[in-house]
Homo-oligomer: A and B are copies of this chain.
Amino acid sequence: MDLLKEKIKTEGEVYAGNILKVDCFLNHQIDCRFLSEVGKEFHRLFKDDGVNKVLTIEASGIAIGAMVAQEFGCPLVFAKKTKTKNIAGDVYTTPVESFTHGTTYDIMVSKRFLGKGDRVLIVDDFLAVGNALNGLIKLVEDSGAELVGCGTVIEKGYQHGGDRLRQQGIKVESLAIVESMNHETGEIVFRD
């Protein structure tokens, strides 16, 4: 997606430790006009796959998921990272290791909102080693729903999480795949 690559190059910042900061348009401040285009692009990529539910994870996946679900005219479900008083009853749950925070946390989805008959498109902002996506895929499998595929805005190709999922036969579409970054020069190279 050329618009995204352009935004990453002009507005993204590269820091030591493989950190690409895009919090000015994607995951702290959100450019909602741009995000509408992201929703349309994921719809174009998955429109023939019978998607009837979009699944993401709080917090930074939610705005993206909302735009995608709006395009498909289907519900969005977001997995929660903490159990609140307001989730009653049974949940599907699995542990996820956070690359960013260096910790492990549980993600969960109420059994009422995921199950047989659902054809699920998983979306998220970033795909690096793939821990969050693998957790979400596990919840889909546990629920008896069908996984249609995964859509991520930015994939860090050099961490190979996306490649591993594709090797398993899962349809993974990323709107930009970063092949390498240099925090000293700020250079970002995309996969063709």
Q: Using a CB–CB distance below 8 Å, which chain A residues touch chain B?
A: 15, 17, 19, 21, 23-24, 27-33, 35-36, 58-59, 62-63, 65-67, 69-70, 73-78, 80, 84-88, 100-101, 109-110, 112-113
Which single residue of chain B is at the shortest CB-CB distance from A58? B59
Work out how many copies of this chain go into the complex: 2
B residues in contact with A67, CB < 8 Å: 66, 70
Distance (whole angstroms) from the CB of A122 to the closest CB of chain B: 15
What are 10 of the A-B contact pairs (CB < 8 Å)?
A: A19-B85, A19-B86, A28-B87, A30-B66, A31-B75, A35-B70, A58-B62, A62-B62, A62-B66, A84-B101
Tell me the minimal C-beta distance from A110 to chain B in angstroms: 6
Which of A21, A66, A67, A85 has the most chain B CB within a 10 Å cutoff?
A: A66
Contact B113 A76 (CB under 8 A): no
Q: Which residue of B lies closest to A98 (CB)?
A: B84
